[in-house]
Structure 1
Amino acid sequence: MSQLAQPSSPVLDIAPILDHGEWTSYQKRILFLVALVMVFDGVDAQVLSLSLSSISAEWGISRAAFAPVLGFSFVAMALGTALGGLLGDRIGRKWTLIASSVTFGLMTLLGALADDIVFLGACRVIASLGMGAAMPNVTAMLAEYTPLRRRSLALAIGMSALPFGGIVVGLLGAQILPALGWRSFFVIAGCAPLIVALTLIIGVPESLRFLVARGIKPAACLNIIRHLGHAVSLTTTLEDSGEAAAVKKASVRTLMASEYAGDTRVLAVAFFTVILSSYLMFTWSPSLFVEAGYSVSMSSASMALFSLGGLIGGVGGGWLFSRFGSRKTMLCMAAGALACCAALMVTPLQPAANSLPIITVSLLLLGLCVPGTQAILFVLAAQIFPTSMRASGVGLPAAFGRLGAVLSAFIGPWILASTGTRFFGFIAAMMLILFVALTLVRRHIARTANQGRSDARLNEVR
């Protein structure tokens, strides 16, 4: 019998270390580096939209010619989210995340060489596959390297890095596009994720829970545990009492045949409603306000308010999540979004009505509730599913939700054909569906803020 199988071989349960131990600087570094992926995911997702005017002027084509590129990119992002989740559960979170960063970074970089819409479109579609694949693996890494009492907040910060990337790219574009042109903008946006991928290779380990669940690379596992502040010997056997379920190869069939199938379906509906609503706001509400009589600068400011609300809602929602649990937090946010839509439905949008203060406050709160709910849906999903299917459990519902972005491109003109009543009424209907879906989630997460650290003896090798 091998040494590891002998009765005298020490056994270490990693669950108390990861769920109730100290939140070390090593774990915070992992949080920072994987959140950087989401920042530049947000940057690269908007680099084409911000460059459309410059590219159209250089090539002598209308911006409408780019509609198929944007549509196919949304589809590719949805496929990438599902594929990234499946790959993360099969080959590991770290290398799937690195591959996704390299993909969207390299394709954005190559886009700078484009001389026609076909080549640029191909680059953007492939880049979108990589962008979609990043998110489920970021959520899995954050969930598996953060103590339970801080997990919701860490996940919320990680997901809020995406809208923060939108703010960053807006600031960069305002400086780079007039001075250096769109090609330089693409080069800078493409190089950044490649640098981040290199730091992931050097500075981020594979998920410890994934390695232990798969029973691979025991030496690497022991090295990670040492970085977490625990002395272990080479003969130590690792187990994870927090993941007692049998490990199965991740697949759509496995997920939908499991006890988590019901929550997977409900989460898919929830993701669909918030992503559809968010993209309707980002894509079409500026046109709504311009047609109502406001200036282009005011319509841009309205989206800045909406984005700011999303950033606050994501981080603040994570904080509330840990103190009141997911059910109360998310139902209140869905109800808040419904109330904001109701206010905007009955508020005259024309400047002559002097309703700008109501519109401003409503847009800020709507951003807090809609993109904010989208961010913490990832927080919820990452904590519902076990390690063996966590990336898939996040990726598949989110991929279905991404189809809402595709649908927004087609229904936007229809709901803009009337007044703001129809536009915000449609979003209100989505928020009502979201509220119902959230009530049907079986595995809501209880409050975690007051869950103290486990006794130090729980972390000792027995």
Structure 2
Amino acid sequence: MNTYRANPVEALQGASLAQRAASQDEKPMKPAPSIEIDTLVDGQKIGALVIRIVVLSLLVQCADGFDLAAMSYAAPELIRSWHFPPSELGPVFSAGLIGMAAGGPLFGYVGDHFGRRVAILLSTLVYGLFSLLIVASPDLHVMLALRFISGVGLGGLLPNTVALNAEFAPKRLRATLIIVMFMGLAVGGILPSVVATTLQHAFGWRAFFFVGGIAPLLLAVVLYFLLPESIKFLVTKKGASARATALAAQLRPDLGITPQTQLVVSTPNQGANSFSPKLLFADGLGWITLLVWVLFSAALVVNFFVNSWMPTLFRAAGLTSDQTAVTQAAYYVGAIVGGLVISRLIDRWGVVAIAAYFLIGCPVVAAIGTAGLSHAALTGVVFLTGACVLGSQLGMNAVTGMIYPTSIRSKGAGWASAIGRIVSTAGPVVGGWLIARHTPLAQLFLVPLVPLAIGGIGALALLYLCHRRFQGLRLHETAAGSRPRP
């Protein structure tokens, strides 16, 4: 009988294969570890990456503050050079605001769809280029058109810097870091006073737009090399996981993150491909969104009413150009102080701080028109006005960045800014109309009390709704997508 004998080599190979198969059955491959983005961000110690983002965003926001203040400083010289009544500048002021209103939703969509970094770069380039072209304006009609286009670029900065900073900031410091970033608005508002005392004597009103155009173009180069994209945005986009994990490793070197680490976003990525604001009213956000728009409008209309006409009115009241520059700068110094204070209040008490700022602002703004104030007293009142008015605006920027989830954050901030900018166009126009009617200062500065009071009442209503939605005073993104408790 023939007996088959296995080849010893084949037998060994078979045994080896069987052992490996058994080993694989006993020890299956472990999936790559995963980390939820909110946990990653909230557990960080503030390091170089976040500091770089806040500083770069602060520099970007300088453009917003510089733009409005620069036009205000240029106004008296323009009136003297081109010989037209002050009321004709109202539409020029408003053209920039209308451009910002268009740019907010447009670049909010770009930010949610293509990335915060891309939108910030494009916005900065558009604003810088068309601000520089204003230098060559032959008349108010051309200046109005260029102001509109530069405003479109400027309007795109707010929603995307808010979104970028909110998505890198830990929950415990989110409002603080967003408002620190928005200190750039106040710093930018101070810079035209420097231009007024150094360059205006040589270059006239054009000095403001030389600086306002060249600086953003140079900054765009810096942003291209140094500004990162949002980790949360990258995680929601296909093919961007390697960039996201590299940024996550910089943010949290303590976690030992590798290219195999899976990053997870808790909120779904819905709505980024839509320009419509429909999702801002979904999932219990309807009344909250409407109130956010009301508060943005109230803060901005008062800011632009007061800020657009203060230099012209102070010069007409007898202040020298240097005294006017100092008093105007006090408005933005007050904003820095008011913004820093409200940032900590929002992190702890939420919308309570917004309501307090609106209500305190009523008597403060009214005091600007008090007859017989010395220059020092007027400067002090303007300082407090900046703290309350711009402080409430900065606070609303932070609140908006905390209410909406990642997928619609830029859209939420962009539409809020747009609605606010549209309404705020009434500020310079109403101011110009009242000035043309020779309205006394005491009555002129009673007008902003109406939107301030509306803002205070609206903030109390928003406080109630946010308390229900977030189940407390503090605002945090983890609860932003949840429904309000019954």
What TM bracket, shorter-length normalisation?
0.7 to 0.9
Residue from 409, 414, 425 that aligns with 1:406: 425
Aligned to 1:221: 244
Q: Spell out, residue by residue over 1:380-435, the C-alpha distance to the aligned partner (whole angstroms, 9 max, x if none).
A: 11000000011111111121111233101232255565445543433222222111
With over 3 angstroms needed to count, the CA separation of the structure-2 counterparts of 1:350 and 1:49, relative to structure 1, is: closer
TM-score (norm 1): 0.85
For the pair 1:305 / 2:330, whether they are aligned, the reply is yes
Alignment of 1:392-431 (within 5 A): 392-413=411-432, 418-431=439-452
Whether contact under 8 Å (1:44, 1:190) holds in the other structure is: no
Which secondary structure state, in structure 2, belongs to the residue aligned with residue 27 of structure 1?
helix
For the pair 1:238 / 2:257, whether they are aligned, the reply is no
For the pair 1:187 / 2:210, whether they are aligned, the reply is yes
Whether contact under 8 Å (1:213, 1:247) holds in the other structure is: no
Whether contact under 8 Å (1:82, 1:399) holds in the other structure is: yes
Q: How big is the shift at 1:125?
A: 1.6
Residue from 344, 349, 369 that aligns with 1:319: 344
1 CA distance for matches of 2:55 and 2:208?
24
Unaligned runs of 5+ residues in structure 2 are 1-28, 477-486
TM-score (norm 2): 0.81
For the pair 1:127 / 2:150, whether they are aligned, the reply is yes
Aligned to 2:279: 254
2 CA distance for matches of 1:413 and 1:61?
13
With over 3 angstroms needed to count, the CA separation of the structure-2 counterparts of 1:359 and 1:43, relative to structure 1, is: closer
Aligned to 1:433: 454
Unaligned runs of 5+ residues in structure 1 are 1-5, 452-462
Across the two proteins, how many residue pairs are aligned to each other? 436
Residue from 271, 274, 284 that aligns with 2:299: 274
Is the deviation greater in 294-303 or in 253-262?
Answer: 294-303
Whether contact under 8 Å (2:131, 2:213) holds in the other structure is: yes
Q: How big is the shift at 1:187?
A: 3.1
Residue from 168, 177, 182 that aligns with 1:159: 182
2:362 maps to amino acid: L
Percent identity over the alignment is 25
Q: How big is the shift at 1:75?
A: 0.9
2 CA distance for matches of 1:111 and 1:92?
29
1 CA distance for matches of 2:358 and 2:240?
44
Q: How big is the shift at 1:258?
A: 4.1
2 CA distance for matches of 1:314 and 1:290?
28
Which secondary structure state, in structure 1, belongs to the residue aligned with residue 448 of structure 2?
helix
Q: Spell out, residue by residue over 1:76-99, the C-alpha distance to the aligned partner (whole angstroms, 9 max, x if none).
A: 111112222222112111100000
Which secondary structure state, in structure 1, belongs to the residue aligned with residue 136 of structure 2?
coil
2 CA distance for matches of 1:180 and 1:290?
20
With over 3 angstroms needed to count, the CA separation of the structure-2 counterparts of 1:280 and 1:189, relative to structure 1, is: closer
Alignment of 1:46-445 (within 5 A): 46-54=69-77, 65-183=88-206, 185-228=208-251, 229=253, 230-241=255-266, 243=267, 245=268, 247-249=270-272, 250=274, 251-285=276-310, 294-297=318-321, 301-322=326-347, 324-341=348-365, 344=367, 349-351=370-372, 360-413=379-432, 418-441=439-462, 442-443=465-466
Q: How big is the shift at 1:177?
A: 1.8
Which secondary structure state, in structure 2, belongs to the residue aligned with residue 112 of structure 1?
helix
2 CA distance for matches of 1:48 and 1:289?
15
Which secondary structure state, in structure 2, belongs to the residue aligned with residue 12 of structure 1?
strand
**Rg larger for:** 2
